[in-house]
Chains A and B, each alone.
Chain A
Amino acid sequence: MSVIRRHRWLQALLLFGPAAIWAAAFIVFPMVEAVKMSLSQIQYYHLVHDWTLKNFDTFFSNPLYTDALVRSAVRGLIVAAAAVAISLPLAHFISFRVKKHQFVWFAGVVVALWLGYLLRIVGWRILLGNDGVLNGLLTSVGILSHPTKVLVFNPFAVILVQVHLAMSFAFIPIFVVMQRVPHRLMQAASDLGARRWRQILEVEAPLIAPGVAVGFTFAFVLSFGDYFAPQLVGDPGSVGIANLASSQFEHGLAWPLGAAIGVVMIVTVLAVLMLPSILMWAYRKITGFRADRGADPSQVNPGALHEEVSAA
């Protein structure tokens, strides 16, 4: 005991050690292995580590794979934009319009998103299916004469379902930053004559920008890495990069190509995840000289503002 008490580095080692070993074994090492496998090939039913770029060559020279990569990226952007576009008014409404029981409203949104991932896909499929709820409803009120097949198993259904799946990732970060926007600041802008849209654009928007960026990237990553929605509500034309990655491990011995697709996905996702911090850095660089235009999110201290307001 006294040895541990005397050496702080020993304390740190004891606290961090187990988690660090776990992270090394099950996060870092698998990534290294995936890269290694992507540089290997299967010969005579055996994995041969011969440091070849053949799999990446196959990937980038075959439009089947590159098209799927582009399709997933474009779909990710659409899904993220839609999820953010729905989350913004909802979070704004709960944060600034709802006066009582804000938490109940927030919980109400979270509960809707609590249903399991696959179950949410099931729900949409029952709704949109060829003999599903919407078809039954539309034919029974006479809008359609017979059930239509255009509702499900198409790229739009995939986007719809993925927007719903991404809502929890987009809404929560946006709601959290909006909660931190001081109401007094909006009130001050209003007192100084700013109209509502100007309050939102010049006061609220710079303050919530980091949360919006996080929500957008999370939603993008969810859509980009999802291989269930294209499988369960899409058509053959909605196959994404994630479907191709997983199918290489399902049938036959195409693991090295699967690993290569995985590596391409890792690089893409890491780049996207780092984007918000790069953008924030650029934003600070550009706006640093013009601090009077919009507040720097990291510099706002609601407490200090409160003091200033009450002193005035």
Chain B
Amino acid sequence: MRARLGSLGIGIGIGAILVFLYIPAVVVAVYSLNKGSVMSWPPELFSFHWYSKAFANDAMMEGLKNSVIVAIAIAAIAVLLGAPAGMGVDRFNFFGKTAFQRLLMLPFLMPGLISGLTLLTVILDFQLELSLMTVIIAHATMLIAIVVIQMAVVLDRWDRSLELAAQDLGANEIRTFFYVTWPNIRAAIVGASLLGIAISLDETARTAFVVGESDTLPIVVLSSLRRTLTPEINAIGTLVLVISLVGVIIWSKFGAADLARE
């Protein structure tokens, strides 16, 4: 009896935690389908009215476009800079390597406000122009660390003698890379880029400091939030949530396939 009461208590506790975790997402999704603009109880379902309003909202669509540009640019930059560094972390030991890794992690560990603020002091001091470029720099700086760490983790698990075997069999470095190394690191690179894109689409704290005339989507949402709550925000937010979740699920299938082949 006592044991059954205990597990009932645990069940209620865990249930309460899950309700707490899910409440904001459920509320946002439900009220994106609300008919009216007053978001009170009970919701008046169902209407896709706010979705069409969001698509017709020029500022939001412009923001979405800018966010996508930033996301693609930073994925490219972070992979080009981070992937070689990740391979280096796996291959070389030198004085200060740990310090170098910690330094790369810093923008990821520190509040976004700090990264944004410090970058803004450079821009102000040198009287540079704020633009989408400064946003890209701020986001890419954060993403490089993720790519480096993902690469180092994946390569650490991988048996590098396969590379030596390929070279013993007469493949040069380039062939070795494309036929042996690349298939093994592909999943890590795609995974890190997707995570980075998801973070970038949502990043607000550092962006608010370095954004210029062309606002990203979260900045559009932020400035509209400062005025009033509109269900358009729920609609666009639900849409971004669903798209990024679908992206992650598709990747986890691919990633799983990649891992299964090994």
A residues within 8 Å of B by Cβ? Answer: 1, 5, 8, 11-12, 14-16, 18-20, 22-23, 26-31, 33-34, 36-37, 47, 86, 89-90, 93, 97, 108-109, 111-127, 129, 131-137, 140, 164, 167, 218, 221-222, 224-228, 231-232, 242, 245-246, 249, 255, 258-259, 262, 265-266, 269, 273
Contacts and interface: CB of A to CB of B under 8 A. Distances in A.
B211 to A, nearest CB: 12
A226 to B, nearest CB: 7
27 contacts: A14-B84, A16-B84, A18-B85, A19-B81, A19-B84, A19-B144, A26-B137, A47-B124, A108-B18, A109-B18, A111-B245, A116-B241, A117-B218, A121-B24, A123-B26, A124-B23, A126-B28, A134-B41, A140-B42, A164-B20, A221-B111, A227-B113, A246-B113, A255-B121, A255-B124, A259-B121, A269-B114
Contact of A19 (B82, B124, B198, B241): B82
A86 B118 contact: no
A265 B114 contact: yes
A64 B121 CA distance: 23
A33 to B, nearest CB: 5
A137 B41 CA distance: 6
B209 interface: yes
Given A112-B18, A112-B21, A116-B240, A265 B111 contact: yes
A31 B84 CA distance: 25
B204 A258 contact: no
B125 to A, nearest CB: 6
Contact-size category for B: 35 or more
- By Cβ-Cβ distance, the 4 closest A-B pairs, closest first, are A225-B111, A123-B24, A136-B41, A15-B88
Given A86-B20, A164-B20, 13 more contacts: A1-B172, A12-B91, A19-B81, A19-B85, A33-B125, A89-B14, A114-B245, A115-B28, A121-B225, A124-B27, A126-B28, A133-B40, A259-B121
Given A118-B221, A133-B41, A249 B117 contact: yes
Given A15-B84, A266-B110, A225 B205 contact: yes
Nearest to A196: B6
A265 B144 CA distance: 23
B117 A262 contact: yes
Contacts of A18: 80-81, 84-85
B141 A20 contact: no
B40 to A, nearest CB: 4
Contacts of B115: 30
A127 B245 contact: no
Nearest to A20: B100
A232 B223 CA distance: 11
Interface of B: 10, 13-14, 17-18, 20-28, 31, 38-42, 80-82, 84-85, 87-88, 91-92, 94, 100, 103-104, 106-107, 109-115, 117-122, 124-125, 137, 140-141, 144, 148, 172-173, 198, 201-202, 204-205, 208-209, 218, 221-222, 225-226, 229, 233-234, 237, 240-241, 244-245, 248
A125 B148 CA distance: 37
B109 A249 contact: no
A259 B120 CA distance: 10
B221 A26 contact: no
A125 B248 CA distance: 28
A221 B110 CA distance: 7
Contacts of B248: 114
B213 to A, nearest CB: 16
B8 to A, nearest CB: 13
A25 to B, nearest CB: 9
Nearest to B209: A249
A164 B85 CA distance: 34
Given A47-B124, A221-B109, A119 B233 contact: yes
B92 A8 contact: yes
A12 B96 CA distance: 13
Contacts of A5: 173
Contacts of A269: 110-111, 114
B27 A93 contact: no
A117 B204 contact: yes
B27 A127 contact: yes
Contacts of B148: 19
B88 A22 contact: no
Contacts of A117: 202, 204-205, 218
B100 A228 contact: no
Contacts of B81: 18-19, 22
B182 to A, nearest CB: 15
A123 B41 CA distance: 14
Contact of A15 (B38, B87, B111, B209): B87
A1 B109 CA distance: 38
A113 B81 CA distance: 29
Which among A28, A108, A117 has the highest number of chain B CB atoms within 10 Å? Answer: A117
B24 A89 contact: no
Contacts of B27: 123-124, 126-127, 133
Which among B22, B24, B109, B111 has the highest number of chain A CB atoms within 10 Å? Answer: B24
